[in-house]
Amino acid sequence: MNIRNIPNYSIGYTSNAVKPGYGSSPQECQTCKNRKYQDGSDENVSFKSASHISPASSGARVRAHEAEHVSNAYTKAAQNHGEVISASVSIRTAVCPECGRTYTAGGETTTVIKYSNESNPYQQNKKSLDAAIYPGKNIDLIA
């Protein structure tokens, strides 16, 4: 079955018709034209000043922006002898109240970085305990 022969299912389909319950069509929606995105973190990433993204490209642009945060976490960990334990990204979507179009409303990145502190007495104690436990764990009994 060829998807181009099915009406209303082709990629990028838009209609000039006003949807029931909404005030305008997707092409003339003022809410979507005036929507701006801005980053609220203290990192050096895109969208530090508010800027417009079209609803069609909002998903890719927000995902790329959140990927910048993940990349910064790995860079920060590498520079300070740390290790990225986890990095997760959540993307939020919403529906425009005027035209009914679904768009990407924003995203949030959460990262956990572990830094080893060799001068910490607790860390030194942990290393000495590990040294007592791990020798002999991998013994070749056949030899």
For residue 57, what are the contacts with CB-CB under 8 A and spacing of at least 6? Answer: none
φ, ψ dihedrals at 73, nearest 5° = -65, -45
Nearest 10 degrees: Cα torsion 33, 28, 10, 55: 10
pLDDT at 42: 78
Q: Radius of gyration (Cα) for the chain, nearest Å?
A: 25
Higher pLDDT: 94 or 42? It is 94
Q: Residues 136, 97: contact at Cβ < 8 Å?
A: no
What percentage of the chain reaches a pLDDT higher than 90?
7
Q: Where are the domains of the chain?
A: 22-133
Q: Is 73 exposed, middle or buried (0-12, 13-18, 19+ CB in 10 A)?
A: buried
List, for residues 68-86, the tens digit of each pLDDT value. Answer: 989 988 998 888 888 889 9
Instruction: Tell me the range of 2-16, 59-73, 114-128 where mean pLDDT is highest.
Output: 59-73
Distance, CA of 80 to CA of 73 (rounded, Å) = 11
